[in-house]
Amino acid sequence: MAALSEQDLADIDARLAGTDTLLATEYPGDDGTRQPVHTLYVPADRFTPELPAVFAAQAAAAVEAFGGTAALAEAVGLGHLAGELAPLVDAKLVAEPLEDLRLDFEDGYGARPDAEEDADAVLAAERVAAAVAAGVAPPFIGIRFKCFEAPTRRRGIRTLDLFLSTLASKGPLPDGLVLTLPKVTTVEQVEAMVSLCERFEAVLGLPDGRLRFEVQMETPQLIIAADGSVPVATLLHRANGRVSALHYGTYDYSASLQIAAAYQSMEHPAADYAKQVCQVAVAETGVRLSDGSTNVIPVGEPEHVLAAWQLHARLVRRSLERGYYQGWDLAAEQLPTRYLATYAFYREGFAAAARRLDNYLHGGDASIMDEPATARALARFVVRGLECGAVTAEEVRSATHAEPAELTRLAHPKLITEEA
């Protein structure tokens, strides 16, 4: 006979009601939607609906000049997979060269006369709408406007206003619309952005909660505030679910710590520390994390091009191994190594992950007993590889004896609850 009464259990439930609510509302887990493997930034006035195709052609030409994708794979240390990677990457550059594109009105655009930026904000929205209507826009696309520090605040808000108002006038907002708030230093700036989103929704007739935004982590004030708190964690829980991602800004953050320009890098110990703080902050919140960029671009002399490709491929792989599944790219010529390194990461781990998933779902190997949490991680790994094109649906079915949709539900249990 149990020693505790129903009242004893009810008392514990009451004691932990606040914890239950906190976990359900503030730590809901990932929602199962696709996360792009990169974000490519271009000055806003350079964007046209043809830009993804132009960038694909530039990337392909750079690789062809080197001797082909298989030769590039060999040169960046992936020769053991060259035969597998080359056709997949070549197909990716044709079908979906850009996964996420940001039209930049901040550092990549600079300070221009107000009339010029006004016109470019309207034109950017018109071109995004045209690209979406024509089916040539990347799956994710949006703008980075100027930050909320006093000198640029009103300019940034006006650009956002003109862009959103124009885009909304063309029809429903694109499903993959992304807004990026840079150089955040305080929680209050995020709260101000939340207020703006609410106001835009009211004025433009958008559904409540339609607008979300990314926060760029580029200042040390977000890691440790004046009072010793960790604002990057706090801001996630003050945004009413509107923050979709944290993006690490390599060079602004490094410069703010007075790291010499020659040593500013995604792999500097200071960068690792900041990203690890962000990684812990976003855990189980549903907010994604993106690494930054390298500004060493593979153009110019052949020796420099090869060294830049090797650096980029290594840094992409490094980020993936540390659990940063997205990063920034700055040029078309970085696309080949973005996909080579990303595809190699998923293909190298696919066979083992698929075998363990097959065993978890169907049994057969008593020597491996994966727990549900491990199975979810294995499924997330395979699903990520499938979404970006590193593995095919047929490979997944053959190796796991499961449909991709079944693995998606295993990777994201929240989807089962929502579907029910």
Contact call for residues 193 and 213 (beta carbons, < 8 A): yes
Q: How far is CA 25 from CA 18, 240, 380, 394, in A?
A: 11, 10, 22, 37
Model confidence over 387-400: pLDDT tens digits?
A: 999 999 999 999 99
Please state the domain extents for the chain. 38-331
Query: Which DSSP category does 175 fall into?
Result: T
How far apart are the C-alpha atoms of 326 and 275, rounded to whole Å? 12
pLDDT for 416: 52
The dotted CATH code for 38-331 is 3.20.20.60
Model confidence over 247-305: pLDDT tens digits?
A: 999 999 999 999 999 999 999 999 999 999 999 999 999 999 999 999 999 999 999 99
The position carrying tokens 């997330």 is 380
The position carrying tokens 């191994």 is 321
Is 317's pLDDT higher than 50?
yes
Contact call for residues 181 and 193 (beta carbons, < 8 A): yes
Residue closest to 57 by CA, chosen among 301, 336, 306? 336
How far apart are the C-alpha atoms of 412 and 37, rounded to whole Å? 18
Model confidence over 344-372: pLDDT tens digits?
A: 999 999 999 999 999 999 987 777 888 99
Q: How far is CA 11 from CA 3, 15, 62, 406, in A?
A: 15, 6, 67, 38
Overall pTM > 0.75:
yes
Is 420's pLDDT higher than 50?
no
Burial of 197 (0-12, 13-18, 19+ CB in 10 A): buried
How far apart are the C-alpha atoms of 106 and 90, rounded to whole Å? 32
H helix intervals, 242-290: 250-256, 269-282
* 288 membership: H or E segment, kind and range: strand 288-290
